[in-house]
Structure 1
């Protein structure tokens, strides 16, 4: 699904949730999309066409919303990126990398700060690349994204003329889109920042030669604590690779002693400008351009194939247009199901996730056995029916019992282990759902405070799972029908 299609799907979803669409309009959009695409179109393509058709009809019926609907569906603009890049290049060209005077202190050049900054950033990027990445936003980051989305919605031009449902829909869409496209936006941001850093360093190199053409710079050094041999070691570490590559050997300790500025020494700065230009090119411009290119490639890939938002309501829509049953592997965690509860799993999940599920209850995973997941998952997925791009991806439902007290060290750990394992699974990648069975806990409750205690335990589970970026579904396995 492309970036534009994903934005349209999320905006359509927000408009439906805010009751801007009636059931008849939504049904019309689905039928019209199916007629245009044909019966063999992939479900994701159908969902995107349905969203575009529905939003076009909404724009016709409510002209006041047309500018906002067009803006959120339009491709991203590059004006901000162009302004950032132009500013970085201009700052590099106008900056004075050699210093304010025509005497260049080799140990105190402003270029030292530019070089150190780029080396630190490249090192941090390398360290970050070696660290495992979380597949979802944390609870605090998710709340921050929601607040940013609400702020953007409040400052949309023409908002005051919209009806209340339209304002709610745009606020919900802004938060959903920022949350769903975080990897895409992060890749674009990294691309712009790395490109800006490369232009800043490149502009500084051009400025070195431009000033060297019209001014006579003398290079030397001064230090209270360092002696010529120590200065030579420092310069060898900073400029040694570039000096060897350019065939400009660094002066020895005797020659460096004659370059003390305090003693009236110094030499023409041209060789040092060449060394610094090549050093900046190797340590700043080149790695930043490579990082910018890698981030640009990542952003292009995500923009062309952005994963479908993993939400139960969208999945129900996809399932409704697919004739093939959707395979579901149900993994109870620290919870043994008797025959009656196993028989109730299918109807309960159908009530929550929609019809057309082919459920297979797996052996219970014992408390503390999260380490077994890497060995357990491949065998489970191998038993699931094969699916292609025209069918929904299989589901893995992690089943908890409300009778258990939610604990981050155990229940949270198994959720995080599954998220990481599924992120590395081959396509079509199974999608994770987390269900909590309330039936056993409800049966234990007695007295007038039963509903209150049930609500408190449910809130505790919601707090844990939402903090992990997972929206839980609460079902009941005591009856053939589950409760959403």
Structure 2
């Protein structure tokens, strides 16, 4: 996808996640979006999937824009202001021309601190850039992204407000590499133009002012000055053929006057101006232009092939599954709990009722208490599984070292191997209800045990759904639909 298509897709994704009731994009809207996307006839494999997603998002975003004018402005916005890419380099060029590295006197100090500082700063920038590339640092530091994302108020308002807030956060993270390339391109171009303006300003002033070149120092002698000049200006001397004078001539160029040098010392500065300007261009202008070009090309490529979530993303997986007519796959792994045949049947029926009759439900053999480490070392995880439900019994007292560890291990394994699979802890309270049935304190006991399970599973980083798998079928189905089908984002209009 290109940048504009990606913006639409991430916007529609954010809205559909927050619009669980289907008020912003109705089931009919989504069905029409699917039919519109079905007309795509380009490429195959991943390219075909991207094209399908782009057309669906284009249709859905159009529907949103007609109903909410702010959506159109949101889609037209940019993370990087285009005017900045023109204004900043122009200002840098003007600043370079206006700068006077030699001050208001007619003296060119061979140990010109401003010019040496400019070159030293740019060399430090190149070193930092190289270190960042070798260490593969992110385009935008994580703490900056977290700070910026945290400044976006998710809000508790309407679905469109929540969707817009989610989109802003998602787009901030997704576009960070592109934005970083655009800013880097502009800053490098500005630095290059500043150096060119500086060189042009020096030559322009030298046309009407005779500069005299010399040096003075409290601590350095002619030999040390010669060594510094040979190191800094040596490459320019080789390129231009302008020789750096020997030590004796360097000594003769020492300023003799106490303040201005009018009493003697110094020579015509033309050769030294050539050496300093060539050094400035070689150390600043050329490398910066190359870096600006590289970042510009990188930004251009990224804008044309913008990275978007693929099948590893739950939302995308659901859309593509529904588009292809394939059934969702659900895996259930009981832990320290052996569900009876009727419980297994009720669970499978509820999952198919919530996710479609063709849903593939696989229930693993139970993992024994304390066997979570051995299980994690041998388990095979299928990347095509959409859900992995970890089945517990509320009758068991939750323990962070066992139940919590099992949940945390599964979440880590899925995140590392199959990040598109959603992990949910399903806690069956049917046996607990049956054991304390008829007792006055049943509700209090249920609430207390549920809080204990919620604390352990929250620490493990796994979402929880507590339900009565032996309860009334319609109630169980509604609960499954609310927890699982809602996060399927109503599919692609299924």
Taking structure 2 as the reference length, the TM-score comes to 0.70
| Corresponding residue number in structure 2 for 1:53 | 59
Secondary structure, in 3 states, of the residue corresponding to 2:108? strand
After superposition, the C-alpha distances for 1:244-296 in whole angstroms (9 at most, x for unaligned) are 22112212221111111245311111111111111112211121122112212
Correspondence list, 1:380-391, <5 A: none
Instruction: Quote the offset at 1:103 in angstroms.
Output: 0.8
| Structure 2: distance between partners of 1:201 and 1:352 | 65
| Structure 2: distance between partners of 1:457 and 1:412 | 14
| Corresponding residue number in structure 2 for 1:100 | 104
Aligned pair in 2 of structure 1 residues 14, 126: CA closer, same or farther (>3 Å)? same
Aligned pair in 2 of structure 1 residues 232, 2: CA closer, same or farther (>3 Å)? same
Is 1:315–2:321 an aligned residue pair? no
Instruction: Quote the offset at 1:10 in angstroms.
Output: 1.5
| Corresponding residue number in structure 2 for 1:187 | 181
Matching residue within 65, 68, 77 for 2:70: 65
Aligned pair in 2 of structure 1 residues 357, 216: CA closer, same or farther (>3 Å)? farther
| Structure 1: distance between partners of 2:447 and 2:248 | 93
Instruction: Quote the offset at 1:55 in angstroms.
Output: 2.2
Comparing 351-360 with 300-309, greater Cα deviation is found at 351-360
Instruction: Quote the offset at 1:453 in angstroms.
Output: 2.6
Structure 1 stretches lacking a partner, 5+ long: 154-162, 385-392, 423-429, 463-471
After superposition, the C-alpha distances for 1:77-104 in whole angstroms (9 at most, x for unaligned) are 6212111111111111211122332111
Q: Contact conserved, 1:239 with 1:279, CA < 8 A, in 2?
A: yes
Secondary structure, in 3 states, of the residue corresponding to 1:42? helix
Secondary structure, in 3 states, of the residue corresponding to 1:260? coil
Instruction: Quote the offset at 1:133 in angstroms.
Output: 3.9
Q: Contact conserved, 2:9 with 2:53, CA < 8 A, in 1?
A: yes
Q: CA RMSD in A?
A: 4.9
| Corresponding residue number in structure 2 for 1:267 | 267
Is 1:43–2:45 an aligned residue pair? no
Aligned pair in 2 of structure 1 residues 277, 34: CA closer, same or farther (>3 Å)? same
Instruction: Report the number of matched residues.
Output: 428
Is 1:10–2:10 an aligned residue pair? yes
Aligned pair in 2 of structure 1 residues 200, 5: CA closer, same or farther (>3 Å)? same
Instruction: Quote the offset at 1:473 in angstroms.
Output: 6.0
After superposition, the C-alpha distances for 1:453-482 in whole angstroms (9 at most, x for unaligned) are 3333333344xxxxxxxxx66689998998
Secondary structure, in 3 states, of the residue corresponding to 1:306? coil
Q: Contact conserved, 2:386 with 2:421, CA < 8 A, in 1?
A: yes
Structure 2 stretches lacking a partner, 5+ long: 258-263, 392-397, 433-444, 470-475, 485-494
After superposition, the C-alpha distances for 1:179-219 in whole angstroms (9 at most, x for unaligned) are 11111111212111111111111211111211111211111
Correspondence list, 1:127-142, <5 A: 127-133=131-137, 138=142, 140-142=143-145
Instruction: Quote the offset at 1:437 in angstroms.
Output: 4.3
Aligned pair in 2 of structure 1 residues 216, 134: CA closer, same or farther (>3 Å)? closer
Q: Contact conserved, 2:109 with 2:215, CA < 8 A, in 1?
A: yes
Instruction: Quote the offset at 1:122 in angstroms.
Output: 0.3
Secondary structure, in 3 states, of the residue corresponding to 2:213? strand
Aligned pair in 2 of structure 1 residues 236, 28: CA closer, same or farther (>3 Å)? same
| Structure 1: distance between partners of 2:214 and 2:431 | 85
Q: Contact conserved, 1:352 with 1:473, CA < 8 A, in 2?
A: no
| Structure 1: distance between partners of 2:89 and 2:117 | 20
Secondary structure, in 3 states, of the residue corresponding to 2:423? strand
Aligned pair in 2 of structure 1 residues 288, 150: CA closer, same or farther (>3 Å)? farther
Is 1:178–2:177 an aligned residue pair? no
Secondary structure, in 3 states, of the residue corresponding to 1:100? coil
Q: Contact conserved, 2:335 with 2:390, CA < 8 A, in 1?
A: no
| Structure 1: distance between partners of 2:360 and 2:205 | 72
| Corresponding residue number in structure 1 for 2:261 | none
Matching residue within 65, 80, 83 for 2:84: 80
| Structure 1: distance between partners of 2:256 and 2:87 | 43
Q: Contact conserved, 1:219 with 1:272, CA < 8 A, in 2?
A: yes
After superposition, the C-alpha distances for 1:92-119 in whole angstroms (9 at most, x for unaligned) are 1211122332111122342222111110
